[in-house]
């Protein structure tokens, strides 16, 4: 689990996903995941002059590296961005300090998530029928009860239209699909054949936290996640630096072509890719940009 995105609006990863893990210095363990699309971790100008440009590691790991995890030294960095690609929630850029932590080198895979489910019998949110009591909490007061066919286990599946559509209405490409869940990513008739090492998807924040707890970790905070995603490149536009996306040597699994109806798949993948299919960032972390969105703790 872990990682994601970073990249700006280019990153329209249609998948929801998962998590990254972090383990804190002593045993504490943590894991984090982040919603990926936090997107544009582009760097920017404007750090207050009273801060140093960047401070070095603030802590050292006290344990041998846990399997599959990387030590992130911590330090101070410019979080967010106000460049053209930055989403509004990333503004304004501001200085943040994080302490050292361990984080998973890759997004959480289907194999890893299956181990958790097999060990615990955990049933994800997408596999449970919602109740009117739960839905009511998220609706304005007085809203009538929806029809019964809404109260079935379901999730959103990326379903590209066959023609150009305005990009201000996500309903044009997200389909509420009964039976879609992590075992059946595109719905009841799909499965995980040949996708063991793809990131698990259709995982809610609660599911990600449950996985992390089981693994003895926690989700990373958004600040930790972004610090890790930057890979030591303070204020860079992308997780790999400032170079634009290269069709000849794709840096990440993102969208190419016209969103959402024409994905040219120049990077080789129309949906998820096996974790670690693209070059790692400066900290040795994979898919911090692209592939799937990842959850963070906050």
DSSP-derived secondary structure letter, 171: G
Binder of Ca ion out of 116, 227, 269, 295 (CB under 5 A): 269
For residue 291, state whether it binds Ca ion (rule: CB under 5 A): yes
For residue 238, state whether it binds Ca ion (rule: CB under 5 A): no
For residue 119, give the 3-state DSSP assignment.
helix
Pairing outcome for strands 257-258 and 174-178? unpaired
Q: Which is nearer to Ca ion, 112 or 253 (CB)?
A: 253
Choices 169-177, 179-187, 223-231, 287-295 (CB under 5 A): range interacting with Ca ion? 287-295
Binder of Ca ion out of 287, 295, 296, 297 (CB under 5 A): 287
CB neighbour burial string for 92-112, b if at least 16 within 10 angstroms, e if fewer: ebebbebebbbbbbbbbbbeb
Give the closest residue to 112 by CA, choosing from 13, 26, 33: 33
CB neighbour burial string for 198-232, b if at least 16 within 10 angstroms, e if fewer: bbbbbbbbebbbbbbbebebbbbbbbbbbbbbbbe
CB of 197 to Ca ion, least distance (A): 14
CB of 203 to Ca ion, least distance (A): 13
CA dihedral 4, 253, 112, 127 (to 10 degrees): 80
Q: Which is nearer to Ca ion, 3 or 217 (CB)?
A: 3
For residue 267, state whether it binds Ca ion (rule: CB under 5 A): yes
For residue 281, state whether it binds Ca ion (rule: CB under 5 A): no
Choices 4-12, 20-28, 132-140, 158-166 (CB under 5 A): range interacting with Ca ion? 4-12
Interface with Ca ion (CB under 5 A), residue total 7
Pairing outcome for strands 154-158 and 174-178? antiparallel
Binder of Ca ion out of 38, 124, 221, 253 (CB under 5 A): 253
Binding site for Ca ion (CB under 5 A): 3-4, 253, 267, 269, 287, 291
């Amino acid at each position: 689990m872990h990682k994601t995105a970073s990249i700006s609006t280019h990153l329209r990863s249609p998948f929801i996903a998962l998590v990254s893990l972090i383990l804190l210095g002593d045993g504490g363990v943590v894991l984090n995941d982040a919603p990926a699309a936090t997107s544009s971790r582009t760097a920017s100008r404007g750090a207050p002059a009273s801060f140093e440009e960047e401070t070095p590691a603030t802590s050292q790991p006290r344990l041998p590296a846990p399997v599959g995890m990387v030590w992130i030294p911590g330090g101070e960095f410019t979080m967010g961005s106000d460049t053209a690609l930055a989403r509004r929630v990333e503004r304004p850029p501001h200085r943040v300090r994080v302490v050292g932590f361990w984080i998973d080198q890759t997004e959480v895979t289907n194999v890893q998530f299956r181990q958790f489910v097999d060990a615990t019998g955990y049933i994800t949110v997408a596999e449970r029928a919602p109740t009117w009591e739960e839905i009511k909490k998220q609706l304005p007061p007085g809203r009538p009860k929806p029809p019964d066919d809404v109260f079935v286990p379901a999730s959103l599946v990326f379903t590209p239209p066959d023609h150009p559509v305005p990009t201000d209405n996500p309903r044009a490409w997200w389909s509420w699909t009964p039976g879609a869940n992590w075992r059946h990513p595109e719905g009841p008739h799909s499965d995980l054949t040949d996708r063991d090492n793809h990131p698990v998807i259709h995982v809610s924040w609660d599911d990600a936290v449950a996985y992390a707890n089981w693994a003895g970790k926690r989700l990373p905070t958004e600040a930790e996640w972004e610090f890790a995603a930057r890979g030591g490149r303070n204020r860079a536009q992308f997780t790999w630096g400032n170079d634009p996306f290269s069709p000849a040597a794709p840096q990440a699994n993102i969208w190419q072509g016209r969103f959402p109806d024409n994905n040219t798949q120049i990077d080789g993948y129309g949906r998820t890719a096996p974790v670690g299919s693209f070059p790692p960032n400066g900290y040795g972390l994979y898919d911090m940009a692209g592939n799937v969105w990842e959850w963070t703790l906050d």
